[in-house]
Amino acid sequence: MIKGSCLCGNVRFEISGEQSSLSYCHCSRCRKAAGVFSAVVIGKVDDFHLLSGKESIGLYKGPDGKFERSFCKECGTSLGDMSSEKIYVVAASALDDDPKVRPSVHIHTASKPDWYEIKDDLIKFDGDYIPSN
């Protein structure tokens, strides 16, 4: 079981099962929410359990209607897209425990800022990808 929370502790969650990946996302939305990129853990939605703080979770929906970003309304912690129909995408920065999975890919690298250079040997995708699990 992996536990996670926001900075103020109002939002608490846990993740059971195994994550399908830990990715670095460079899309413009993640850059705006987290900085140069966002580290996200992805897994099956049934493995994500919100323990407390539902009333503290704010939701930003992008103009396209597909993109959602969850955050704590009290402290502003980015939580990712906590659940969709099939997967969760949680900001790795909100994890309190080691997920035991390590970064494997960079996604949306075509959107990264020109001044940022990726210096590792992880797989890079110009756009999105679908996890293998």
CA 47 to chain centre: 15
**What is residue 33's predicted lDDT score, i.e. its pLDDT?**
81
**What is residue 133's predicted lDDT score, i.e. its pLDDT?**
45
- 95 DSSP assignment: B
**What is residue 20's predicted lDDT score, i.e. its pLDDT?**
85
**What is residue 67's predicted lDDT score, i.e. its pLDDT?**
73
Q: Do 96 and 102 form a contact (C-beta atoms < 8 A)?
A: no
- Report the C-alpha gap between 94 and 39 in whole angstroms: 10
In percent, how much of the chain has pLDDT > 70? 94
What is the value of pTM for the model shown? 0.86
CA angle 90, 117, 94 (to 5 degrees): 20
In percent, how much of the chain has pLDDT > 90? 65
Query: Stretch 22-50: mean pLDDT, rounded?
Result: 89
Q: Please identify which residue in the block is written with the tokens 């909100």.
A: 94
pLDDT over threshold 70, residue 83: no
**What is residue 32's predicted lDDT score, i.e. its pLDDT?**
82
Q: Whole-number mean pLDDT of the chain?
A: 89
**Among candidate residues 105, 116, 108, the one with its CA nearest the CA of residue 28:** 108
Q: Please identify which residue in the block is written with the tokens 């992880």.
A: 122
**What is residue 130's predicted lDDT score, i.e. its pLDDT?**
59
